[in-house]
Structure 1
């Protein structure tokens, strides 16, 4: 770690440095190292996320006010803020800000040897939405999160402001919006207002791209907050001119957290921790932090029954029983299904879906190729629209993330040792075979399995087309049968499970499959697994598309925390997750340690 500056206070040694995010952008952060560390137990840390427009320099008084003098504290400058690079108030996307924060946590864990379960997050306004999105998408095992004035819905006051911004960004993608917020709208404290006005590092503008990304992501996270089970304290301001109160309450009510508290701070503006009176917020925060660290960690087994006892299970049951959607909406989907039957065969992709199932290996391989085709002229246009659906765009991004994860594991494997790779449900095997094509100088032994012989034949043809010299075994096996994982076979270094578990709502067959994987995985080996934590078109898909069994394609999105818990139950610890478009699909990597978590 390269230290930029160091100073000290009564309880902490302060330092400044930087860390590299996922795209190798170096971001600035501050560290408060306790002078008197805890004599017993693991080291703990408070991680602070600043408000929109602000920076980590504003966190110094908060560290002192919170008063946990034996604990570490960290705060970053979000991309485009403070001393971090980027145009002020801008980022390539809101999702990248969440990735940056995930990288920050990983950096702290690796550099300072503080485990996530010993971290507690304190996040303000926009920072709170970053934290909430991180909880939902990455499912970290942090001790708890304090969200102050979470910006799930910013009050723009101008009618149709978001619609106008979306239209404007079509003509000017780099559009910026100047904040209407004055310091007197943030706090009753004249001293704090003056400090805000005089701070040269506070950016008064925000990128419209980031603002719209924030709004879209916040809507998704509030809607699906039941996927979050980390302890949460929400501090809401009674007189907030910046963000709406209702979405904060909705988020709180939907949380599945065993410990959650909602504190409405009386006579308070948006800047809760920078108000004239902060004792109510501080007292609630200190008590919450103490309670979080006294609360024992929840066992991973609690998620094994989430297929029948959870919000996602209730939603799936309602979907099966036809209780979702209004009569008018269901009538509209019925018309779409009828049109699919009439016009669908003109589209090559829809024809494959109608014949083999839209979730079949054949259908996914067509989506991966992303080359529109059809009949009678109009068929190709229909096919292009089909391939550009948000779900299929997410599938193609999932392929990219799969190949990145696999490539990284292959590259880090010792070159003088053979590498054994198994895909338990390969389908056409395109994502694996295209990756192996780039590593034919390595000694790789590849095994592709699938339940459908036609999929394996398709994989063989692709391997021939790619002129692969890598030895490949093709095995027709059921990924959910214990007999498919004989202990007599040599163990594998990498096992891939892609696009399979998402198709099944129950956890019991998935646990059987994972137990089989455990039998065939080397100690220290890795599992690459995909997830589908949520989908914005569940009802549309269920009402219009058929699956590989010829039935209505009904899906139960499995929250990331549940999927990770199932993998952890076989002794695999997650080390990395990548999030796809709109958080629909994820690709994760876990390492097998041999012992059950």
Structure 2
């Protein structure tokens, strides 16, 4: 039997989370290879502790954690703000063990089950860790609720009365044929039978996103699917597997298995397949596909090309004409929609209006239209992106101060520069210099007015500049120690433009300087944006090519930067990353 240690770590918001640790049995091998276990929903790490011995990998370190609100971790039982907070917890846990135990990400494999498998898959999709293998046991991409219209009904009740809890209907005997394990489930005081409706509904939303965009996952992945599962549906599991972006993938159906795949009576079948897959992945050198040319070939390029095609059929053309006509009508009453048509829905002026988030219209109806417009999921994501930008700005400024380096900030496409200016006003130790740049005369004019309004004319200057000119960026003065590129690269699908821009910043920045950059790996309204909204570029349709986070990170690394940390909103739309200039 392996010796178990019980430990805790502090997650992103100060919540103390519990985990179990099994050191490698042969301490003389100095093994840095490790396996991380994610438990099922309602359960805890003690329910997967048997795998530490049964997988029979004595030279691997093994970790298993209790998700917040479960087991011995802090947090309200069966609840969290959203699935994204649990995914962020997982990212914090991996950061903790890689630093605390000196384990590289490439030496990690993950085994996860049910809801834990959804959390693990989302973490791999959103944070693009360079782990060696991902094994998913019966991922809960779609829970069987059996009651007709259960999900719409829960949504209606949630919107009417707010968050509430429901109890799991699953009987222990429907989880496993192992009678002893079923009895232990029924008697375990750490089992959390209830789950918040907020979390349950978000599980469906996140699962739909991850299944649809699984092509972004390039980590070798194995699915072990229970053949007689009364808890979750198989169809999304198959679709996820088909969409996976890795060539190293396996899909196994285990006949007769109930939902508790790794806790079944014949679980050694599943365990042996997981072990074989993990050892095979560790026998290979870790490889990530090169995505520097994903703007020319790849699934996001195909997606953008399809959006650029005219709408065909009988119904769709009329549908989009109806949508555009309604928007045109609303623009006569709503200031935000009117501004979008005048300057482009992707313009700096529109962005600043979205940041201010103050519904304005010529009438009560116009204000209602404007409120609805500002509450669209894309604009909510934009405002959360601003929060993350300000958070990482403060972090980067603090890091520069701690290392006694000057703080010279440049934003190469600042729009009105609101997030930079508001961050500066909030901190005690001001930067040494701030340079805002933009190509638009309107943005420069309004940005200068905002600088004066904030009383920062002695510190901040605004000039016209080309964010894609390597020569201009290489000649920035003073040389920036902190460069910001926000909301720009998402608007241009051509990777050569980004390479020129990033290379120019790398040319101008000293070693150790910081880069903050944003990305849009996902958007649920891409077709609506392409069919109904216009760009700042001569009023053309606003067609965006998404970049997976791996593609964006590779472009940044190619220019000479090393990514340090990242933030992502709860919908998975926008990311904000911090990288450091290296040799």
The two structures have a TM-score, normalised by structure 1, of: 0.94
| Match of residue 156 from structure 1 | 145
Tell me whether 1:14 sits opposite 2:4 in the alignment. yes
**Distance across 1 between alignment mates of 2:523 and 2:288:** 27
| Match of residue 195 from structure 1 | 184
- Superposition deviation, residue 490 in structure 1: 4.1
Greater Cα offset, 97-106 or 336-345: 336-345
1:441-452 matches, within 5 Å, as 441-452=429-440
Partner of residue 465 from structure 1, selected from 440, 453, 469: 453
**Distance across 1 between alignment mates of 2:497 and 2:357:** 32
Question: Which structure 2 segments of 5+ residues have no match?
Answer: none
| Match of residue 47 from structure 1 | 36
CA contact (8 A) 2:35 2:111 kept: yes
| Match of residue 565 from structure 1 | 554
| Match of residue 315 from structure 2 | 328
- Superposition deviation, residue 519 in structure 1: 0.8
Secondary structure of the residue aligned to 1:108 is helix
- Superposition deviation, residue 376 in structure 1: 3.9
Runs of 4 or more above 3 Å deviation = 37-40, 487-490
- Superposition deviation, residue 259 in structure 1: 0.8
CA contact (8 A) 2:15 2:75 kept: no
1:169-208 matches, within 5 Å, as 169-208=158-197
| Match of residue 230 from structure 2 | 241
- Superposition deviation, residue 377 in structure 1: 3.9
**Distance across 1 between alignment mates of 2:43 and 2:70:** 7
Tell me whether 1:344 sits opposite 2:328 in the alignment. no
Distance 1:356 1:253, change over 3 A: same
Secondary structure of the residue aligned to 1:367 is helix
Tell me whether 1:33 sits opposite 2:20 in the alignment. no
- Superposition deviation, residue 470 in structure 1: 5.0
- Superimposed CA distance per residue, residues 447-472 of structure 1 (whole angstroms, 9 cap, x where no aligned partner): 11111122122111101000126522
| Match of residue 108 from structure 1 | 97
CA contact (8 A) 1:222 1:247 kept: yes
| Match of residue 504 from structure 1 | 492
| Match of residue 408 from structure 1 | 395
Greater Cα offset, 151-160 or 475-484: 475-484
Partner of residue 285 from structure 1, selected from 274, 286, 297: 274
Tell me whether 1:529 sits opposite 2:517 in the alignment. yes
Partner of residue 419 from structure 2, selected from 431, 436, 444: 431
**Distance across 1 between alignment mates of 2:432 and 2:219:** 41
Distance 1:134 1:193, change over 3 A: same
Tell me whether 1:69 sits opposite 2:58 in the alignment. yes
Partner of residue 399 from structure 1, selected from 373, 381, 386: 386
CA contact (8 A) 1:444 1:470 kept: no
**Distance across 2 between alignment mates of 1:217 and 1:384:** 25
**Distance across 2 between alignment mates of 1:453 and 1:542:** 26
| Match of residue 127 from structure 1 | 116
**Distance across 1 between alignment mates of 2:199 and 2:241:** 24
Greater Cα offset, 124-133 or 379-388: 379-388
Greater Cα offset, 438-447 or 565-574: 438-447
Tell me whether 1:305 sits opposite 2:293 in the alignment. yes
Distance 1:226 1:412, change over 3 A: same
**Distance across 2 between alignment mates of 1:191 and 1:440:** 61
| Match of residue 295 from structure 1 | 284
CA contact (8 A) 2:91 2:123 kept: yes
| Match of residue 581 from structure 2 | 592
Secondary structure of the residue aligned to 1:313 is helix
Tell me whether 1:256 sits opposite 2:256 in the alignment. no
**Distance across 1 between alignment mates of 2:529 and 2:154:** 30
Secondary structure of the residue aligned to 2:386 is helix
Distance 1:170 1:379, change over 3 A: closer
Distance 1:266 1:38, change over 3 A: farther
| Match of residue 5 from structure 1 | none
Partner of residue 422 from structure 1, selected from 410, 420, 429: 410
**Distance across 2 between alignment mates of 1:191 and 1:546:** 62
Distance 1:327 1:217, change over 3 A: farther
| Match of residue 4 from structure 1 | none
- Superposition deviation, residue 344 in structure 1: 0.9
**Distance across 2 between alignment mates of 1:330 and 1:21:** 49
- Superposition deviation, residue 487 in structure 1: 4.6
CA contact (8 A) 2:480 2:508 kept: yes
CA contact (8 A) 2:406 2:481 kept: no
1:546-557 matches, within 5 Å, as 546-549=534-537, 550-557=539-546
**Distance across 1 between alignment mates of 2:101 and 2:317:** 54
Tell me whether 1:357 sits opposite 2:347 in the alignment. no
CA contact (8 A) 1:230 1:258 kept: no
**Distance across 2 between alignment mates of 1:327 and 1:45:** 56
**Distance across 2 between alignment mates of 1:183 and 1:338:** 55
| Match of residue 492 from structure 1 | 480
The two structures have a TM-score, normalised by structure 2, of: 0.96
Secondary structure of the residue aligned to 2:332 is helix
Secondary structure of the residue aligned to 1:582 is coil
CA contact (8 A) 1:55 1:78 kept: yes
Secondary structure of the residue aligned to 1:85 is coil
- Superposition deviation, residue 488 in structure 1: 7.2
| Match of residue 501 from structure 2 | 513
Secondary structure of the residue aligned to 1:60 is coil
CA contact (8 A) 2:359 2:367 kept: yes
CA contact (8 A) 2:340 2:350 kept: yes
| Match of residue 302 from structure 2 | 314
- Superimposed CA distance per residue, residues 423-456 of structure 1 (whole angstroms, 9 cap, x where no aligned partner): 1111110000111112354342111111112212
**Distance across 2 between alignment mates of 1:519 and 1:345:** 47
Question: Which structure 1 segments of 5+ residues have no match?
Answer: 1-8
